[in-house]
Structure 1
Amino acid sequence: MTIEEEIKAIQDEIDKTQKNKATEHHIGRLKAKMARLKDDLIKQAMSKGGGTGGYSVKKSGDATVTLVGFPSVGKSTLINKLTDARSEVGAYEFTTLDVVPGSMEYRDAKIQILDLPGLVKGAAAGKGRGREVISVIRGCDLILMILDVFNFDHIAVLEKELYDAGIRINQRKPDVTITRTLKGGVVVTSTVDTTIDHETIKTILGEYKIHNALVNIREDITADQLIDVVRDNRVYIPAVLVLNKIDLVDKEHLKKFPKDAIKISADRELNLDVLKETIYDHLGFINIYLKPQGDKADLEEPMIMRGGATVGDVCDRLHKDFRRKFRYAKVWGDSAKHAGQRVGVDHTLCDGDILTIIIQK
């Protein structure tokens, strides 16, 4: 039996099992088994992706965005309109066979955008070039899920393929910690009421051979979220739904799609400015102004960083030796307790901060 067949058999058993308190532990165990099998497919994707044929993509710029969608939804046209890329465009499926990178400059930020081969149903299980494509998606900062106006059902299929590949869109990692211990069994503490009961938690951990651990839960979670925490190989990436080819239908047709979808026509260049602004906002950029020691700060050309960046992250961007030679830094702005506060590499910066870095000579 192949991995795909094992997964299907487990899913069939879950579907036919009546959902109630008596079966909760059994379903939790089945989900844990299925998650482990799906992880085997992810490992295959990571080992086969990033090789030859255009899938070894060097990240550049201030952030990386991937265009994800089924074949012929207009990804190639879109990247050509947004960036300096020249991706082949054709009225047939699988025009793009390799990853095509492009660079978009917007509000001082340099954003790398990747046009990927179209996903197909079953991509997470290795169909088409799904494994290679997924390996690239897992390393990006933002996903643009591209649909066309004639395929509403693609939304659910895309979301499922990403989920099965261990990619959690528009979610954050559950606030749960699991600390293995040498003895004492599984001890669960929680600061909130949880949907999942303690016995199911122990059952799921047991499926992964964790029989002694301290589990601290600080938010309500499901069995699937607990499995994500146990596996610790999920990636949490923001995503934006982009509806393309709106020039081909009337407004009534568009009402079936989610209201928060960004509605564009790449071919006619409709609403591309809205899309650019949305990309920028979702990437959470902040401006950091550098101040050489004993000189004025450069307030004309900020360094663009992602929200949550530290002084160490700035060091890494400036020069490969800056972190190694780092002595201390001074900060002016919202992240500082007082003007010119002396800080270390782990200090988290805020938008608009002014930063001086002192290194060894």
Structure 2
Amino acid sequence: MGIQEDIQAVEDEIRKTSYNKATSHHIGRLKAKLARLREEVVKKASTKSGGDGYSVKKSGDATVALVGFPSVGKSTLLNKITGANSEVGDYEFTTLDVIPGVLDYKDATIQVLDVPGLVRGAASGRGRGREVIAVVRNSNLVLFLLDVFQPEHYKVLIQELYDAGIRLNTTPPDVVIKRKDRGGVTISTTMELELTDDLIKAVLGEYKIHNAHVLIRDNINVDELIDVIMGNRVYVPSIIVVNKVDLANEDILNKMEYLFPDATFISANEEKNLEAVKDLIYDSLDFIRVYLKPQGGLADMDEPLIVTDGVTVGDICERLHRDFRDKFRYSQVWGASAKHPGQRAGLDHYLEDGDLLTLIIQK
């Protein structure tokens, strides 16, 4: 029996097993086994395709990946909002490579990537899916572009990204697993969990972790525990844009608005509501401004660095010059992230909107 047959057998068993307290342990072990088998498929697909994905250099203040089925209008949208020159056609798989465009908006420079259309089975390598997903994993935001006549595509897309280890609109569970040489598995929690210690140990055992200390600060489920164990998940925000509204009647539009109440509705071809898309992209990226202040001088308050929330001093160093991190001595910070004006801070200090930053570099 091959891996795909093993996966199908496990999926079938999960599907036919009623979930309750008595079966939770069994289902938990099945889910752990399923995740492990899927990871094997992903690794084989990556090896077969070379594993490198498309060669796309990240640039600008943030990167947005346009994700959708073939022929939903990604190339048209990219061309309209960035002026890029992505080939447009009425047939599937027009885009066979990643096409970058640049959206300059509200002092931010945003890289927008038109990736080849995702199809069912992309996480397993179908339709160059692994290469596309590698680009999505490295983006700061996923923009799902849906055809107004094809709402079912959304579930397929999010499932493919989920199977590829991309977690949308959520944060990593607050769980730390430290492996040990001996002593078995010990579990520490800061709250009452739905998961039992026996189930946690059983899931760890599926990955041959028999000696470890597990610290849990979230009321996680078994899927989140598996994500922590795998250690290769990425957490990315996402937004939904529905295209081709100029071709739909009122009933279809009402249905889509009911299914996707937070979506932005556009016609890329007719350039309808594209400014709202730009606003949506900008607002969803959680940009902050950091002002550079030379040592002993005044901060440049006219041209801040536009960066995404969660940026560190080290990230700023890497952005400014490739040698700054290696030659870094210390920094001084004024603003919301500083305990006091001019606080000395290291590379791992997180900055906040409006901070003033001085970098002290070895000469």
Tell whether the structures are fold-level matches, with TM greater than 0.5.
yes
Q: Counterpart in 1 of 2:324?
A: 322
- Which ranges in structure 2 are unaligned for 5 or more consecutive residues? none
- Post-superposition Cα deviations, 1:186-241, rounded to whole Å, max 9, x if no partner, equal 22222222222221111111111111222221111111111111111111111111
CA contact (8 A) 2:294 2:358 kept: yes
AA matched with 1:293: Q
Runs of 4+ with >3 A deviation: 44-47, 49-52
- Judged with a 3 Å threshold, the aligned counterparts in structure 2 of structure 1 residues 251 and 340 are, in CA distance, closer, same or farther, namely farther
Q: Counterpart in 1 of 2:99?
A: 100
Aligned partners of 2:268 and 2:44: how far apart in 1? 34
Aligned partners of 1:295 and 1:131: how far apart in 2? 49
AA matched with 1:128: G
Q: Counterpart in 1 of 2:339?
A: 337
CA contact (8 A) 1:49 1:133 kept: no
Matches within 5 A, 1:46-57: 46-47=46-47, 48=49, 51=52, 55-57=54-56
Aligned partners of 1:222 and 1:325: how far apart in 2? 43
CA contact (8 A) 1:177 1:216 kept: yes
Matches within 5 A, 1:204-243: 204-243=203-242
CA contact (8 A) 2:69 2:117 kept: yes
- Post-superposition Cα deviations, 1:64-108, rounded to whole Å, max 9, x if no partner, equal 111111011000100001113111111111111111111111111
Q: Counterpart in 2 of 1:42?
A: 42
- Judged with a 3 Å threshold, the aligned counterparts in structure 2 of structure 1 residues 267 and 49 are, in CA distance, closer, same or farther, namely farther
Q: Counterpart in 2 of 1:300?
A: 302
Query: Offset of 1:293 from its aligned partner?
Result: 2.2
Aligned partners of 2:111 and 2:45: how far apart in 1? 22
Aligned partners of 2:348 and 2:120: how far apart in 1? 43
- Post-superposition Cα deviations, 1:105-137, rounded to whole Å, max 9, x if no partner, equal 111111111101111111112221111111111
Q: Counterpart in 1 of 2:77?
A: 78
Q: Counterpart in 2 of 1:58?
A: 57
CA contact (8 A) 1:316 1:323 kept: yes
Matches within 5 A, 1:1-361: 1-47=1-47, 48=49, 51=52, 55-256=54-255, 257-361=259-363
Aligned partners of 1:49 and 1:259: how far apart in 2? 40
Aligned partners of 1:49 and 1:142: how far apart in 2? 25
Query: Offset of 1:144 from its aligned partner?
Result: 0.6
Residue 160 of structure 1 aligns to a residue whose secondary structure is helix
Task: Tell me the number of residue pairs that the alignment of Structure 1 and Structure 2 aligns.
Answer: 359
Aligned partners of 1:255 and 1:184: how far apart in 2? 59
- Judged with a 3 Å threshold, the aligned counterparts in structure 2 of structure 1 residues 101 and 268 are, in CA distance, closer, same or farther, namely same
- Normalised to the residue count of structure 2, the TM-score between the two structures is 0.94
Query: Offset of 1:313 from its aligned partner?
Result: 1.4
Residue 111 of structure 2 aligns to a residue whose secondary structure is strand
CA contact (8 A) 2:149 2:252 kept: no
Aligned partners of 1:17 and 1:335: how far apart in 2? 50
Aligned partners of 2:294 and 2:207: how far apart in 1? 52
Residue 265 of structure 1 aligns to a residue whose secondary structure is coil
Query: Which segment drifts farther, 187-196 or 282-291?
Result: 187-196
AA matched with 1:86: N
CA contact (8 A) 2:124 2:130 kept: yes
- Which ranges in structure 1 are unaligned for 5 or more consecutive residues? none
- Judged with a 3 Å threshold, the aligned counterparts in structure 2 of structure 1 residues 349 and 51 are, in CA distance, closer, same or farther, namely closer
Aligned partners of 1:220 and 1:291: how far apart in 2? 43
Aligned-CA RMSD value: 1.6
Aligned partners of 2:9 and 2:292: how far apart in 1? 58
Query: Offset of 1:42 from its aligned partner?
Result: 2.6
Aligned partners of 2:211 and 2:86: how far apart in 1? 53
CA contact (8 A) 1:44 1:131 kept: no
Aligned partners of 1:212 and 1:360: how far apart in 2? 44
CA contact (8 A) 1:288 1:351 kept: yes
Aligned partners of 1:204 and 1:150: how far apart in 2? 41
- Post-superposition Cα deviations, 1:22-78, rounded to whole Å, max 9, x if no partner, equal 2222211111111011112332454436658xx111111111111111011000100
CA contact (8 A) 1:46 1:135 kept: no
CA contact (8 A) 1:45 1:135 kept: no
Residue 329 of structure 1 aligns to a residue whose secondary structure is strand
Query: Which segment drifts farther, 244-253 or 258-267?
Result: 244-253
Query: Offset of 1:288 from its aligned partner?
Result: 0.8
Residue 273 of structure 1 aligns to a residue whose secondary structure is helix
Aligned partners of 1:254 and 1:221: how far apart in 2? 37
- Normalised to the residue count of structure 1, the TM-score between the two structures is 0.95
